[in-house]
Homo-oligomer: A and B are copies of this chain.
Amino acid sequence: MRCWEEFHLNGYYNTSMQKLAAATGLQKAGLYHHYPTKEDLMRRVMEFAQEQFRNYVLSVATELDLPPEQRLEKLLRRHKKLATLHRRGCFFANIALETGREGLFNEALKTGMMDWADAVSRILSEYMPADAAQREALRLIMEYEGAVLFYKLTADEQHLEDFIHRAVANLKQASEHSSSIKQA
């Protein structure tokens, strides 16, 4: 969906139906034929984004042939690819900070973030108890979103790269810790 790109690039309020129509090759009224309001269109876009996100990023969490560290890195690197394309950042975070107070799309955004946390948590839980994995997954995502913020401000991908290194190193440390416990 081209509309996704537009919203991702320019945010909700700074994207007009005119622009969205142009991006799809339709006229504005043609777009309104398919979606009754801008808000409805955005809701559809968000469902689509969640689906893409699940298929392209979160699916990595269940590639059980890879060891957890590599799965985590691969997952994060896929997300980084989405974020650095046209320096868009994270779609969910962009919209969340823009519309979070009014809460127009909070339910969808929340589930998007929670799906993500669950996927990361599933990876981490191989090296730590489920509740610790869940907490750490949430923390990792928070740190990542902050890194994306700095990336958007500075255009310096190093912030994202550093984060990935930190996350993977942390997981390795947790893995050593868990295996030493098993040994004991």
Interface residues of A (CB under 8 A from B): 9-11, 13-14, 86-89, 93-94, 96-98, 100-101, 106, 109-110, 113, 138-139, 141-147, 149-150, 152-154, 159, 163, 166
Contacts of A154 on B, CB cut-off 8 Å? 106, 110
Name the B residues within 8 Å of A86 (CB-CB). 101
Are B113 and A153 neighbours in the complex by a CB distance under 8 Å? yes
A149 with B142: in contact, given A88-B101, A97-B93 (CB under 8 Å)? yes
Partner of A94 from the list B13, B14, B97, B145 (CB cut-off 8 Å) is: B97
4 other A-B residue contacts (CB within 8 Å) besides A100-B152, A101-B152: A14-B98, A94-B97, A113-B150, A142-B146
User: What chain B residues lie within 8 Å of A14 (beta carbons)?
Assistant: 13, 98
Q: Are A96 and B153 in contact (CB under 8 A)?
A: yes
